[in-house]
Amino acid sequence: MRGNKVPGYLGLARRANKLVAGSDAVLWAIKKNLAKIVFIASDAASNTVKKFQKKCYDYNVLVINEYSSEELSKAIGKPLCKVLAITDQGFSDAIRGQLNGGIK
């Protein structure tokens, strides 16, 4: 996963119960304004990508789709993970900092 700390943050968020995985859970989190960042696997189906990108755009949620489902699954310890959402502002800020090259 590109040598940054994002996978570690995803694993910590999962263990802290600050992450939801799966289409239904992520859609629910977006609609309830709980999702801070949504990760969509780069190898997810095009309809899945379109659906979540539109929903995230409508609710002003950051979308990241540079990781494969294998990478996401390995990071959170769940098989076949295509979509997940971070629901905690602290983890969201840490991940955004890593994605911006360590600049917060």
Share of the chain above pLDDT 70, in %: 93
Structural tokens at position 55: 């929903």
**Res. 1: pLDDT tops 50:** no
Amino acid at 12: L
Where in the chain are the domains?
6-99
pTM score of the predicted model:
0.91
Cβ-based burial of 15 (10 A; exposed 0-12, middle 13-18, buried ≥19): exposed
| 55-68 mean pLDDT | 95
Q: Which residues pair with 63 in a beta bridge?
A: 38
* Residues 23-59: tens digit of each pLDDT: 999 999 999 999 999 999 999 999 999 999 999 999 9
Count of residues in the chain? 104
Which one is the CATH code of 6-99: 3.40.640.10, 3.30.1330.30, 3.50.50.60, 1.10.260.40? 3.30.1330.30
Phi, psi of 67 (to 5 degrees): -110, 145
**Res. 103: pLDDT tops 70:** no
